[in-house]
Amino acid sequence: MAFEGLSSRLQNVFGKLRGKGKVSEDDVNEAMREVRLALLEADVNFKVVKDFIAKVKERTIGLEVSKSFTPGMVVVDIVNKELTELMGGSNTKLAKANKPPTVILMAGLQGAGKTTSSAKLAKLLLKDKHKPLMIAGDIYRPAAIKQLQVLGEQIGVPVFTLGDQTSPVEIARQGLQLAKDNGHDYVIIDTAGRLHIDEALMTELRQIHEATNPDEVLLVVDAMTGQEAVNVAQSFHSQLELTGVILTKLDGDTRGGAALSVKAVTGCPIKFAATGEKIEPLEPFHPERMASRILGMGDMLSLIEKAQSSIDAEKAAEMERKMRTAEFTFEDFLEQMEQVRKLGPLDQLLDMMPGMGKMKDMKNLKVDEKQIGRVEAIVKSMTKEEKRKPEILNHSRRKRIATGSGTSVAEVNRLIKQFDDMKKMMKQFSSMMGPKGPKGGMK
């Protein structure tokens, strides 16, 4: 996952401080030396690191520590706040035109993820009940238009194109007119990228800018390229006034330098973070959540939001009741699995939970999506009665299920055993919780 190296190094540094009742100036200096190295290794801009350390040190001098916190915790808190500030403080929302449509111009180098991010942004807008239109303005890269059309079809967003023989400026102009005529409230203009920044690219972008007067100019940069992403952002920003950055490929093995330096170097906020090649709604970038994620404090807020938007509250309450009373059947098991699956790839979820980022290193926790598919197949091959009364699953029934699901009897046995164990655990848990919550002894 992104930031893994940085995250584990910072957690080590602070682990040492947290354990201490008192923290001396030497301790803080030593910790800051290590933080500095960790940031530089994560490819954070040199000057940004210097300013960052100076700010943290300034705030730790003469620290007033209240009784309820150890000085170590206070230092962690200061670093958390400064990291948040570094990335822009709080989430910067997408602009909205006074008079629709809101025009969003997408810019960036080839391969940064412009086309993919355009579709992800459109999907986010759809989710928020808007009516976006995408304009295919990249007439140079073979198949770029087709790619946008395919994505548009997949998510149900129309794509305006005039093929690759009309100038992008004209395409943008006509697309915008169509959006106005058809009542689209957002327009996303995908533009051409180049391998490097060149004059022709900038001129074209400036012309499209002039013709469409965008409310947002979003630069798409690839987080995996580290400092290069920051340089690209700086060059674009000096020639074309950017209003925000979309940082892509945060799912990859990025060291995190770009996320931590873009705002500080260019003054331009990261508005969205993109992960994965699948078209999921683009996620608004929250500096405060990212900072606590880096510091291993988890990102429970994002997790809760995700859960709220994808899990059916009524179903969840019913499930909770069933778990408490241990009337849990294979049907519930399958349903629960589907709910969890809606949340997205499990390893991404683990990243968001406090302390879980580290646990994932344990190989046995590797979440295998294929395995989930097999479990699903097994449960779906059971009859209604079997799902409700798993105790009737004798050998011949198990054999039939294995054949029906294309798995083996051993796999079916394993799943039934897991299910039984889970039920036992629930029983124990519910007797521990009692009707009024945890009994003494549990913290």
- Which residues in this chain contact ligand GDP in the complex, by CB under 6 A? 108, 110-116, 193, 220, 248-249, 251-252, 274-277
Smallest gap from Cβ 282 to ligand GDP, in A, equals 9
Which of 83/112 has CB closer to ligand GDP?
112
Smallest gap from Cβ 205 to ligand GDP, in A, equals 13
Which residue, 173, 180, 239, 169, is CA-closest to 208? 169
In this structure, what token pair is assigned to residue 21?
């009742």
CA distance 62 to 144: 57
Smallest gap from Cβ 278 to ligand GDP, in A, equals 9
Element (H, E) at 133: strand 132-137
What are the C-alpha distances in Å from 380 to residues 193, 334, 402? Answer: 47, 8, 11
CA distance 286 to 128: 18
Beta strand 186-191 with 270-273 is unpaired
Which of 48/148 has CB closer to ligand GDP?
148
Smallest gap from Cβ 111 to ligand GDP, in A, equals 5
Contact 146, 190 (CB under 8 A): no
Smallest gap from Cβ 223 to ligand GDP, in A, equals 8
Which of 195/362 has CB closer to ligand GDP?
195
Smallest gap from Cβ 245 to ligand GDP, in A, equals 13
Which of 43/411 has CB closer to ligand GDP?
43
DSSP state of 68: T
CA distance 240 to 346: 39
Which residue, 402, 400, 405, 397, is CA-closest to 380? 405
Q: Is 344 left (phi over 0), alpha (psi -120 to 50) or beta?
A: left
Binding-site residue ranges for GTP? 108-115, 190-194, 248-251
Question: How many CB atoms within 10 Å of residue 32?
Answer: 19
Smallest gap from Cβ 154 to ligand GDP, in A, equals 13
Which of 100/276 has CB closer to ligand GDP?
276
Beta strand 244-248 with 270-273 is parallel
Secondary structure in 3-state letters for 176-212: HHHHHHCCCCEEEEEECCCCCCCHHHHHHHHHHHHHH
b/e string for 139-173 if b means 16 or more Cβ within 10 A? bbbeebbebbbebbeebebbbbbbeeeeebbebbb
Which of 251/351 has CB closer to ligand GDP?
251
- E strands within 210-357? 216-222, 244-248, 270-273, 283-284
- E strands within 179-325? 186-191, 216-222, 244-248, 270-273, 283-284
Smallest gap from Cβ 254 to ligand GDP, in A, equals 10
Smallest gap from Cβ 157 to ligand GDP, in A, equals 15
Which of 111/354 has CB closer to ligand GDP?
111
Which of 120/263 has CB closer to ligand GDP?
120
Which of 112/402 has CB closer to ligand GDP?
112
Binding-site residue ranges? 108-115, 190-194, 248-251
In this structure, what token pair is assigned to residue 106?
């997408």
What are the C-alpha distances in Å from 159 to residues 122, 148, 154, 176? Answer: 11, 7, 11, 11
